[in-house]
Amino acid sequence: MQTVNHPFSLLMALFSCVALLCYPCAPAIHAQQVTRVDTIRLTLFTDSVGLDEVTVRTRKKPAANSRFSDMLPVELVTIGGANGDLYKALQTLPGSQMQGENGRLLVRGGSSEETQTFMDGLHVLNPYTATSEGQAARSRYSTFMFSGINLASGGAPIEYGNALSAVLPLETKDQSTVDKTGVNASIVGVGGGGTRTFQGGSASVDLTYQNLKLYNQLFPDRKPYDKPYTMASAATQLRYAVRPYTLFKLYAQYDRSDLISREGEALRRFDLNEDNLYLNATMRHESPAKAWKQFAGVAFSWHRQGIGGVSQLDDHWTLYEQEWHLKVRSERSWADGRLGLQAGAEGYLSRYATDYQWAAVNSGDPIYRRQHPRIAASFLTFKAFPLLWLKTEFSLRGEYAHPCAEWNLSPRIALNAYAGPVMLSAVVGHYTQLPLAERLAEVSRLGMEHCTHYNLGLQYKVGRRFAKLEIYDKQYSHLAWYDQALDRNEQVGASVWNRAIAADPSAAWGNAGYGYSRGLDLFFSDPESLRHLEYQIAYTYNLGRRKAGSDPVPTTPQYATRHNASVVLKYIIPAWHLILGMTNSMASGRPYHDETLPGWMNSECKPYHSLDLALTYLPTKRIIIHCSVTNVLNRTNEFGREQGKPVLASRNSFIYFGVFLTLGKKAAYDVSNF
């Protein structure tokens, strides 16, 4: 099973969730619905564990356009095996692929680079933590920072650009109403923080330190470490209501990660260190009647990663990335919300640079690569309810991309038809994305990659019971592809073209790649039919082939699996103040290339299976104890093969134990408000 690099963040998130559960009364959790924006109030009855501390806001309407639910953080954090990680929890939703060895989010046959994360409408350049080979990355951000989780797994709103497959838009909470302070300790680290409220706003801070030295001694890894993984993080958030209808939010986080491991049969010394900074500032304004809504925001991402022994002894590779994302947006509604218009513009200003130094024995010249990708875009969406049971959206996005100097127009049409608790949705949209930055730094003339989405869904929602079926078809074109027949290592003829290839091997790259990804998603969630028991079932079938990268022929990508399924159970035992969680995840085997057989990507690994458990104990209102175990059957899951050997996670399973303590008497510590 996957390595949990940041289980300490798990507790920071789980504490938020379970801090709500600290009152020993209440067998039921129910929602009081409000018009447009619902307030979910978790209240208590006699003899139950209740969630009455935090009020969470989220939209409550039928989940359309490939959004399987407006999920609350508490729903994600308590999933068995998620270990408090946002991306791990999202792998239990249909459309996603099991990623035990790298932890990243892959959706409907697309790579992790095709799914982009946005915080308060602004792009997050590097949302994953640093890892070495076989270690699963985690989210850098606490799940409980957000008021709701909406994974747009296909046909996403056209406002979000530069994402071929899916977008994950996250909205931080608008306010905090209580002062909080708390600390925590676990087998992997310590931390603490809190929130101070003032007239019109609040300020929060969170500090985290993790060190896996003790854990590695108790539960050894597959690989030896000269320096176990360490991470120090500091985050702060300011929220202030400038005036009754204007809200300003500022978020900043910096983290530093280090590790030194031994890789490969020669035990190459792999020395990784990383710095990551993310700043996000937004201003949101509504007119008193809420007819007009304006938004302006800017985000800055900076990421530096250095690796010694990246491919051989004593070599060194350094990566520098930074990005400015600026966005403005305005919305207007008429006729009691039956007509609406949204218009906006955004810009991405990026910098990418790498520096590779050969080992001394090679005495080769250093390799420098630089690129400054830029995107300027505008978008327009018209929304209408021509009939009481029909909602329509017509969108258009225009953009200009550098360095390829390419203009694109991307249309999108979405229709939702309602009949009581049933909704039928249909979405057709065109999406573009720049090739990988490292590829552009090598071949700047590569153009934008394209994908057209076709989605048809049927959903049913009564109370909190929710079911959805969706079929989808994604058509890829203009993918970056390397023509091996034009490689400079091939025999060079007398033609001018071949002489050019010999002088410039990057000339073998072009946008001739193509492919498809199609299938169906099934989802059922029922948190209220059985007393104290919540469960959800998800299944995805995906059939995809593409010719991209260096694939000589169209093939199923190495990271894609045809079948993915998960069953999630949560059970509360009020008399014992316990919350139990269980997740059973399965996936068919990944494809890989066996050189002893004819064809390309011609074999398949054994299927994936992981049974995960979690337990939360609430002895008092101020103490929370949490334990979780992933892959309790200790199954050795394979994630492909390289040079005839299976690709494995660095650990089959992960065991976590931690304690949270509230300081003061006002409220249980909740890192979510953080």
Q: Residues 163-208: pLDDT tens digits?
A: 999 999 988 888 887 888 888 898 989 998 888 999 999 999 999 9
Task: Inform me whether the pLDDT recorded for 20 exceeds 70.
Answer: no
Give the whole-angstrom CA distance, residue 123 versus residue 120: 9
Task: Inform me whether the pLDDT recorded for 427 exceeds 70.
Answer: yes
Residue 76: what residue type? L
What pLDDT is stored for residue 81 in this prediction? 76
497's enclosing H/E stretch is: helix 496-503
Please give the residue that has the higher pLDDT: either 361 or 86: 86
Task: Inform me whether the pLDDT recorded for 491 exceeds 50.
Answer: no
C-alpha distance across the termini of the chain, in Å? 30
- Phi-psi region at 515: left, alpha or beta (left = phi > 0; alpha = psi -120 to 50): left
What pLDDT is stored for residue 643 in this prediction? 80
424's enclosing H/E stretch is: strand 422-433
Q: What is the torsion angle, in degrees rounded to the nearest 10, for the CA atoms of residue 428, residue 433, residue 436 and residue 439?
A: 120
pLDDT class of 266 with cuts at 50, 70, 90: confident
Please give the residue that has the higher pLDDT: either 575 or 505: 575
CA max distance for the chain: 87
Beta bridge partners of 195: 180, 204
411-420, pLDDT tens digit by residue? 999 999 999 9
Residue 461 and residue 62 in contact, taking contact as beta carbons nearer than 8 Å: yes
Return all residues near 462 (Cβ < 8 A) that are at least 6 apart.
421
Cis ω for the linkage preceding 527 (within 30 of 0): no
Give the whole-angstrom CA distance, residue 151 versus residue 71: 9
Would you call 484 helix, strand, or coil by DSSP? helix
Give the whole-angstrom CA distance, residue 134 versus residue 251: 31
Reference 127, options 135, 136, 117; nearest CA is 117
Give the whole-angstrom CA distance, residue 278 versus residue 276: 7
What pLDDT is stored for residue 370 in this prediction? 93
pLDDT class of 620 with cuts at 50, 70, 90: confident
The DSSP letter of residue 652 is S
Reference 561, options 591, 538, 595; nearest CA is 591
Task: Inform me whether the pLDDT recorded for 78 exceeds 90.
Answer: no
Task: Inform me whether the pLDDT recorded for 26 exceeds 50.
Answer: no
pLDDT class of 1 with cuts at 50, 70, 90: very low
DSSP string for 232-294 = EEEEEEEEEEEETTEEEEEEEEEEEEEEEEEETTTTEEEEEEEEEEEEEEEEEEE-TTSSEEE
Q: How far is CA 151 from CA 117, 148, 216, in A?
A: 10, 10, 34
Give the whole-angstrom CA distance, residue 327 versus residue 334: 24
Neighbours of 85 (CB within 10 A): 29
Give the whole-angstrom CA distance, residue 233 versus residue 205: 11
pLDDT class of 324 with cuts at 50, 70, 90: very high
What is the Cα gyration radius of the chain? 25
What pLDDT is stored for residue 84 in this prediction? 73
- Residues 461-465: contacts with CB under 8 Å, at least 24 apart: 461/62, 461/63, 461/421, 461/423, 462/421, 463/528, 464/31, 464/525, 464/526, 464/527, 464/528, 465/525, 465/526, 465/527, 465/528, 465/529
pTM for the model:
0.85
Average pLDDT of the chain, as a whole number: 82
Would you call 493 helix, strand, or coil by DSSP? coil
Name the CATH code of domain 7-673 (choices 1.20.1110.10, 1.20.1260.10, 3.40.50.150, 2.40.170.20).
2.40.170.20
Give the whole-angstrom CA distance, residue 618 versus residue 612: 21
Beta bridge partners of 207: 192, 234
What pLDDT is stored for residue 600 in this prediction? 86
Domain boundaries, the chain: 7-673
The DSSP letter of residue 508 is G
Q: Kindly state the average pLDDT of the residues 11-27.
A: 34
Task: Inform me whether the pLDDT recorded for 62 exceeds 70.
Answer: no
83-128, pLDDT tens digit by residue? 778 888 888 889 998 887 888 999 999 999 999 999 999 999 999 9
